[in-house]
Amino acid sequence: MRIAVACKGAAKACLITDCVSACRRDTSSGAPRLPDGTIAGSILSMDRAVANVQHFAGVALEQAVEMATRSPARVIGCDKTKGSLDAGVNVLMTMIDGEVVFQR
């Protein structure tokens, strides 16, 4: 992990996860599995991915968050259309599941 981040840099390295709900799945082996033993996704949450890259690759929090947000958006080409939060930006409203949870 350390070598990959050193070679690519935070702007080109992406943190991704296929985290699934482990509800009603056997996770004793560290991954959710179907009844026949087939791996059925992962239980790695994005916050754990950020913490892992900080710990195992020595990446600063700011770089780790970039690797989880801006870098993947850039790779799939939506960084220009979806926008981002930058320092000094005044947040006007925050919505979760279609409900306003903060409004200035």
Q: In this structure, what token pair is assigned to residue 13?
A: 């390295």
Tokens 């799939």 found at? 76
Residue 3 has what pLDDT? 93
Q: In this structure, what token pair is assigned to residue 96?
A: 């979760």
Q: In this structure, what token pair is assigned to residue 66?
A: 């970039």
Residue 101 has what pLDDT? 93
Q: CA 80, CA 85: separation in Å to the nearest integer?
A: 12
Q: How many CA atoms lie within 13 A of 83 on its CB side?
A: 4
Instruction: Report the amino acid identity of residue 63.
Output: Q
Residue 23 has what pLDDT? 63
Q: Tens-digit pLDDT profile for the chain (104 aa)?
A: 899 999 988 888 999 988 777 666 667 777 788 888 888 888 888 999 999 999 999 999 999 999 999 899 988 988 888 767 677 778 888 888 899 999 98
Residue 24 has what pLDDT? 64
